[in-house]
Structure 1
Amino acid sequence: MPTKELSAAEMHLWNIVENNPKKIAKMSIVKLSQYAHVSTATIVRTMQKMGYSGYTSYREALKLKNNFSSTFNVLNEADDKIRSVITKNEIEMNNTLHNLNYSTIEDSISMTKQAKIVYIFARGLSESIADEIMVKLQLTGKYCEFHSDPNIIKTIANKIKPDSLVIFITLNGETEELVSAAKILNKRDIPILTFTTNPSGKILQFSTLVFMGYKSKTNYFPEYEVRSRLPLQIMTRIFSDAYSVRSGFFKNI
């Protein structure tokens, strides 16, 4: 039973998803929006009224309830070792999407809109992800800077103005210069948006909003710190694409 009464549009949507479980289980929220001729906001509201945190949690519950297979055709052709590599990435992707919080996405968009300047700090392999976010935000007209040099990061942290937003991209949330900068910014009441995969990372205590991804324990390069950045890539892409939509830069959804 719904936790709240459904509107006509919401009831229309709910009837569609209930009557087409196999088809719905494979659809993204955008595809469902097009299929049912309702907005993505209507989908989210409907799922929340029906007791789910959002569309992703509903779809995961649907798969479990009906025991739908989420495997890919390539898994049928791969040997055990390659299959484990593919499955690892699938698990990281699915669990990261499951961790997403709708209000965090909307709040991060609002903070970005309000900021006159957006600073992005990242180190190591996360730098390419930071560079991609910077380019995408700049394309929407937002003034944005990306810094990776540890000395510059610490210096700038003391000079950033309150009307700015700082985005940290850090896989483990423990990188010393990033944590130090976040601590400085926190004391100065500068809003911080963090993308990470470590729920125990030191940087979390200084962050205003956090996107928490899922990191697999498996590392195919054990002698080096080159763990998968897939969770960070998924979350930052969702953030930047959602910002583009909400800012009116992309109008085809």
Structure 2
Amino acid sequence: MSSRELSSAELHLWNIVENNPDKIAKMSIVKLSQFAHVSTATIVRTMQKMGYSGYTSYRESLKLKSNSSSSFSVLNDADDKIRSVITKNEIEMNTTLHNLSYSTLEDSISMTKQAKLVYIFARGLSESIANEMMVKLQLTGKYCEFHSDPNIIKTIAKKIKPDSLVIFITLNGETEELVAAAKILNKNDIPILTFSTNSNGSISHYSTLSFIGYQSKTNYFPEYEVRSRLPLQIMTRIFSDAYSVRTNFYKSK
């Protein structure tokens, strides 16, 4: 969203936080409320309109920016609307990286190494991400299959053995056939690794390990379910590359 679409109170707040990043990064929401003379509700509403999940998300982005030596020259030339598009992707990337759990990464690698077979299930726009992961795992010598057909997914889920691993790549964790498959797998004690952006998604309840990325609430195609898969791409690529390193495939080359 452009700052031109903010209310007068929200614009007042946004100007303050943009002009005082070092101070704001150290302030609680209550302190900022007192400093800017606005309500905490105004703070949350403003941050959400500007593409953040809330004030905490905005503060984290400030900290990440302060620790980064890189700058994007394209932002200097872009107008407010294009700048918000670029910033949205930067926030999704930085926050997803910030939220990554090292222990989850290492445990997921170990779980994948132990599995005799790896199955990847995904639907819709997540299929291209799943296909990339399948190819990378196959290149390391791991037997891996990718399926996107809902009937095949549900049928195969009933036949998978405990020495296998199933990887789900799902943005919201609520795709019906994926949740149904996860429920079956969980009942049969099959290890499940999930990549999603929704920690409360139904599929997460059945997962052994989960990577949860950050997704902006801003959707530039509101009439269609084509939200950004950038967080999924980041997490799956880190996992695949880390797996290559841990299995010495990368070193051997």
1:104 aligns with 2:104: yes
Cα separation, 2, equivalents of 1:157 and 1:135: 21
Correspondence for 2:3: none
2:51 maps to none
> One-letter code of the match for 2:193?
L
Structure label with greater radius of gyration? 2
For 2:136 and 2:167, locate their aligned partners in 1 and report how far apart those are by CA, in whole Å: 14
Counterpart in the other structure of 2:94: 94
Say whether the 8 Å CA contact 1:182–1:207 is kept in structure 2: yes
Match of 1:140 in 2: 140
For residue 146 of structure 1, give the secondary structure of its aligned residue in structure 2: strand
TM-score by length of 2: 0.73
Change over 3 Å in CA distance of 1:226–1:72 after alignment to 2: same
Q: 2:246 matched to which residue of 1?
A: 246
Contact 1:63 1:69 in 2 (8 A): no
- Code of the residue aligned with 1:242 in structure 2: it is A
Whole-Å Cα distance in 2 between the matches of residues 91 and 65 of structure 1? 10
Change (3 A) 1:71 1:213: same
What residue number does 2:113 align with? 113
What's the CA shift for 1:69? 7.1
Shift of 1:199: 1.4
Q: Which residue of 2 aligns with 1:4?
A: none
Which residue type is aligned with residue 95 of structure 1?
Answer: T
**What is the rounded CA distance, in whole Å, between the counterparts of 1:145 and 1:158 in structure 2?**
15
Amino acid at match of 1:124: G
Any idea what SS the aligned residue of 1:195 has? strand
Residue 65 and residue 191 in structure 1: after superposition, are their counterparts in 2 closer, same or farther (change >3 A)? closer
The aligned length equals: 194
Partner in structure 2 of residue 214 of structure 1:
214
**Does the aligned pair in 2 maintain the 1:192–1:206 contact within 8 Å?**
yes
Match of 2:9 in 1: none
Structure 1 residue matching 2:250: 3-state secondary structure: coil
Aligned identity (percent) is 85
Indicate how the Cα distance of structure 1 residues 252 and 63 shifts in structure 2: closer, same or farther if over 3 A, else same. farther
Partner deviation per Cα, 1:230-250 (whole Å, 9 max, x = no partner): 000000000000000000000
- Deviation string 1:177-207 (CA, Å, 9 cap, x unpaired) is 0000000000000000000001110001100
Instruction: Tell me the SS of whatever aligns to 2:173.
Output: coil
Q: Which 5+ residue runs of structure 1 have no aligned equivalent?
A: 1-59
| C-alpha contact (below 8 Å) 2:61/2:95 kept by paired residues | no
Q: Does 1:162 align with 2:162?
A: yes
Q: SS of 1:218's equivalent?
A: coil
Matches within 5 A, 1:34-49: none
Give the CA deviation at 1:215.
Answer: 0.5
In structure 2, how many angstroms separate the alpha carbons of the residues matched to 1:68 and 1:150? 43
- For normalisation by structure 1, the TM-score amounts to 0.73
Change in Cα spacing, 1:77 to 1:247, as seen in structure 2 (3 Å) is: same
- Long gaps (5+) in structure 2: 1-59
- Counterpart residue type for residue 230 of structure 1: L
SS in 1 for 2:112: helix
Partner of 2:245: helix, strand, or coil?
helix
The CA RMSD over aligned residues, in Å, is 2.1
Distance 1:98 1:66, change over 3 A: closer
CA-CA distance at 1:109 after TM superposition: 0.3
Aligned position for 2:232:
232
1:199 alignment counterpart: 199
State the Cα distance separating 1:88 from its structure 2 match: 0.2
Q: Using the alignment, how far apart are the partners of 1:140 and 1:78 within structure 2?
A: 42
